[in-house]
């Protein structure tokens, strides 16, 4: 990001962030790039400004601040709507049967757990404790290790994938997570992205009246800063979400079978 959008400024003092040249660069960036790119650059520059201000006692201002105040930044990017719908699940399930076993297991595990693409792809044998029934995801988007209970549907997949592996071997070695959705669509699956599976788990859980706290725990979502109750008081373990996660997974299986 720095090389692409701030290349001419990489070797200038950090105090130059408040120069007219950099502000002009940010304005051109905001006019030529999409909202998601502008947001990412704005966040990265803002993080740098906060860091040097705190560590070095400076009083720099992000060059995006004045642009925002003047209304010169694009509207914030909207979350992408879920493409895969519940009515599509029978066709989706039927199509992934045409994939090889490891690819199919990856997609089903992603659906049953709500794990992000990279979290699922990088699972190793040592992250799966079949004796205690706990799945550990050491590296996550929010930087916090995540644990989930191993439900019966997950155990069937995990036992198959763990069989014969050494502790540091990956469960889904040689599976291209980036191209897996496309591979499924080539064999007939309805259009979808891997993140749709995470959204599907959340949507089905909400319809089953699973509490927000439990869904956040399953999905490893951090509560909003203003939500003091769930940030500092409510703490749910993997065992606490075993039953509700099982209920959601069983409903997903019913939907894949075409049940109303």
pLDDT tens, position by position, 109-151: 999 999 999 999 999 999 999 999 999 999 898 888 999 999 9
pLDDT tens per residue across span 204-255? 999 999 999 999 999 999 888 778 888 888 899 999 999 999 999 999 999 9
Look up residue 230 and give its DSSP letter.
Answer: I
Q: Are residues 42 and 151 in the same domain?
A: no
DSSP states of 166-191: -TTSBTTTT--HHHHHHHHHHTTPPS
Strands across the sheet containing 128-129? 128-129, 134-137, 146-149
Q: Are residues 146 and 171 in the same domain?
A: yes
- Its domain, for residue 116, covers 86-256
Residue 79 lies in a domain: no
Longest dimension (CA), the chain: 63
CA-to-CA distance for 221 and 212, rounded, in angstroms?
10
In a domain, 80, yes or no: no
Q: Tell me the two tokens of residue 46.
A: 């803002």
Domain count, the chain: 2
Q: Tell me how far apart the alpha carbons of residues 114 and 108 are, in angstroms, rounded to a whole number.
A: 10
- 177 and 112 in a common domain: yes
Query: Is 184 in the same domain as 95?
Result: yes
**150 and 218 in one domain?**
yes
Domain identity same for 126 and 208: yes
Do 42 and 106 belong to one domain?
no
Judge whether residue 79 has pLDDT over 70. no
pLDDT tens, 18-64? 888 999 999 999 999 988 899 999 999 999 999 999 999 999 999 99
* One domain for residues 62 and 9: yes
Angle at 7 between CA 5 and CA 9, to 5 degrees: 110
């Amino acid at each position: 990001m720095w090389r692409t959008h701030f290349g001419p400024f990489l070797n200038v003092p950090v105090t130059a962030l408040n120069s007219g040249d950099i502000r002009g660069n940010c304005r051109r960036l905001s006019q030529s790039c999409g909202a998601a790119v502008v947001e990412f650059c704005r966040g990265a520059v803002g993080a740098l400004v906060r860091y040097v201000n705190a560590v070095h006692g400076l009083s720099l201002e992000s060059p995006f601040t004045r642009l925002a105040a003047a209304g010169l930044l694009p509207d914030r990017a909207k979350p992408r709507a879920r493409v895969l719908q519940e009515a599509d699940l029978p066709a989706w399930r039927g199509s992934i049967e045409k994939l090889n076993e490891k690819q199919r297991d990856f997609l089903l595990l992603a659906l049953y757990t709500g794990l992000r693409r990279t979290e699922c792809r990088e699972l190793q044998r040592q992250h799966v404790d079949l004796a205690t029934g706990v799945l550990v995801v050491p590296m996550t988007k929010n930087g916090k290790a995540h644990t989930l209970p191993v439900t019966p549907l997950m155990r069937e997949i995990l036992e198959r994938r763990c069989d014969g592996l050494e502790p540091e071997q990956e469960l889904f070695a040689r599976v291209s997570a980036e191209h897996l959705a496309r591979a499924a669509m080539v064999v007939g699956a309805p259009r979808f992205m891997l993140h749709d599976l995470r959204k599907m788990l959340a949507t089905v859980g909400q319809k089953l009246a699973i509490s927000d706290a439990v869904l956040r725990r399953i999905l490893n979502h951090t509560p909003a800063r203003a939500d003091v109750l769930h940030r500092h008081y409510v703490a749910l373990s993997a065992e606490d979400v075993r039953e509700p996660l099982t209920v959601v997974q069983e409903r997903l299986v019913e939907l894949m079978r075409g049940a109303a």
